[in-house]
Amino acid sequence: MSSDQTAGTDDRTGPAAEPGTGPGIGLDSEFGTEIDCTVNDRRVYATVPDRLNLADFLRDRLGLTGTHLGCEHGVCGACTVLVDGRSVRSCLMLAVQVHGRTVTTVEGLTAGDRNADLCAAMTREHGLQCGFCTPGFLATAAELLQETVGAAGRPMGTLDERVVRECLSGNVCRCTGYTGIVRAVMQTAAMRAAQAEVT
Ligand code: FES
Ligand code: FES
C-alpha cells in the first residue's frame, strides 16, 4: 500500500496529520481525490475514488457501521447522517463532497450523553424493534430537535405531531408503525423545552 492510499484520523484539536501518516485505513484506489474533513469530532484525511459514496466511505473505510444501507438509492433514509448539521442521504452523496466539511454519524450523535434523552425516549416508547432504521431516524430527529428546541438561548419553535411526522416521513421503518418514534421525539422536545425554560 502506498502512502497516498490511506485514510486516517487525528485529534481535531491537535496538529493536522499529513496524508499518509498516522493510523491508516487502507484504500484500494490507485487513483482518487484527497479529502480532509471532520467526522464525529475527529479529523479525517483520505484519498478516495471519485465515485465512492459517503455511506461506503463511512462504513468500509472508517468502520462507522452504525450508518446503515437499505435501498441505496435515496428512498429509505437508513443511511441518514448530518453534514454541517444538516441531514443528508449518505448513499446519494459522494465522499469527495465532504471535503472541508463536518460529518456526524449516529456514533457521534450518541457519543457520551449526547442525545441520551432521545435514545431513552426511543427505548421507553418502543421506537425500535430490529433497529435497522434507527440510526437514520436518530439523525433526522436530532436535526429536528436542534432546529426547533435548539441550543441554549435559542427560542423554541413549533413542534407538534404533524411537524414531527412530516419531518420523519423520509425515513422508512418496517417494524414499528412509527407511533412510538413520533412519541419519543415529541417527548424529547417537550423535555428539552421544559429544561430550557428553567435555565
Ligand atoms: Fe440511503 Fe436508503 S440507503 S436512502
Ligand atoms: Fe426495524 Fe425500523 S425498527 S425497520
pLDDT of residue 156: 54
Of 32-36, 81-85, 154-158, 187-191, the range with the lowest mean pLDDT is 154-158
pLDDT exceeds cutoff 70 at 139: yes
pLDDT of residue 195: 82
Name the most confidently modeled range: 7-11, 19-23, 29-33, 188-192: 188-192
Q: pLDDT tens across 173-184, in order?
A: 999 999 999 999
Secondary structure of the chain in HEC code, one letter for each residue: CCCCCEEEEEECCCCCCCCCCCCEEECCCCCCEEEEEEECCEEEEEEECCCCEHHHHHHHHCCCCCCCCCCCCCCCCCCEEEECCEEEECCCCEHHHHCCCEEECHHHHCCCCCCHHHHHHHHHCCCCCCCCCHHHHHHHHHHHHHHHCCCCCCCCCCCCHHHHHHHHCCCCCCCCCCHHHHHHHHHHHHHHHHHHHHC
The pTM score is: 0.85
CATH of 116-198, picked from 1.10.150.120, 2.40.110.10, 3.40.50.300, 3.30.420.10, is 1.10.150.120
Please state which CATH number belongs to domain 24-109.
3.10.20.30
Cα(9) to centroid(ligand 2), Å = 31
Extents of the domains making up the chain: 24-109, 116-198
Cα(88) to centroid(ligand 1), Å = 10
Atom of ligand 2 nearest to the CA of 129: 3
174 in contact with ligand 2, CB cutoff 6 A: yes
Mutate to test the pocket of ligand 1, among 54, 87, 91, 93 (most ligand atoms within 8 A of CB): 91
